[in-house]
Amino acid sequence: MSQPDQDRTTINSTEKAVTETLLSPRFYRTDYAALDKIDVSPMRREWDAMMGEFDVDANREHFRKEVKFDAARMSPELYAEFQDFLVSSITAEYSGCVLYQEIEKNVDNPDVKKLMNQMARDEARHAGFINKSLNQMGLAVDLGFLKRSKKYTYFAPKFIYYATYLSEKIGYARYITIFRHLQKNPERQFHPIFSFFEEWCNDEFRHGEAFALIMRADPRLLRGRNKLWIRFFLLAVYATMYVRDHSRPELYNALGMDPTEFDYKVFDITTAISKQIFPLTLNTDSPAFRSGLENMLRLNIAIQESKNKGGWWQSVRRIGLSAQNAFYFAKLYMLPVKSNELPDTVRMEPAW
């Protein structure tokens, strides 16, 4: 690829990463003074053990390996969806890196400062590794430009805890499910990045554990009205994943996976893990839950089709479609949930 062409693909990939949609990963800011007051002393033994794992840094060499791949083997449809998958993944990883770096820079609390330094280290490696894979496809994301240009959303600290815990645990569940599937079906591994998912998902699991300990150190975060927020974030993360995965049919066809079966398996794993920390779980096996997600998927497809058509009438139509989408989200939110008694044991080991 010539230098002008390479520059153009870098610009296109970066523009895709910067573009804001309802489903795209976001960059966050928060209340650093509140984070500075975190007290993990009630969980000191578990905290020190976890930080010992961060210090060992078992994946130090893992993400320095090179990824070799010929993108010409892909169909145009698979290429586009796989690119979208990688760009979305790098945006999510790098947004975490930026958030953790900002927290580290703005707090004096030694426990929080060290944790954020280690997590930023891991996320930077993940983002850089994905960028190497994009480079093998003649693409790249300008991470410096992304940091400067992406819109930032303010999240209260507890929202950071809930959302980050879930995103890390669901990331673990996704990566380990894909990795185990490809172990059984090696002919479906169309790109070498999937072979790195086992070690990668262990980073995700550990990151989630860090936020689990922060929440267990302050039980108020898991009681009273905060249960409503936990319920909201569980539903938001699951619904977003379901809609996003079903927008990539060629990707899952290439992997030999049904996106609906995959998503519900990931939900099951995430639900089992989250029982260690959340006082409630969603009943994802409920027919009402499943039909609600299907309705949201149908509406999101219609919204995207409307955007592609353009015009003032389509803008009006999207208002109605978005209102329907909000209605179905609210219906899902009101479905009965399962109460969960928190166990005495805080740490769980990856077991899937």
Residue 22 confidence class, pLDDT cut points 50, 70, 90: very low
Retrieve residue 141's tokens.
Answer: 């994301």
Candidates 323, 344, 328, 318; CA nearest to 292 is: 328
- Average pLDDT estimate for 128-155: 81
Mean pLDDT of 137-166: 85
Q: Which residues pair with 28 in a beta bridge?
A: 153
Mean pLDDT across 251-264: 97
Residue closest to 184 by CA, chosen among 255, 232, 242:
255
Residue pair 328/299 in contact by the 8 Å Cβ criterion: yes
The rounded distance, in Å, linking the Cα atoms of 175 and 194 is: 8
Dmax over CA atoms of the chain, in Å, equals 60
Contact 348, 273 (CB under 8 A): yes
So what's the pLDDT on residue 6? 43
Task: Label residue 16 by pLDDT band (50, 70, 90).
Answer: very low
CB atoms within 10 A of CB 130: 24
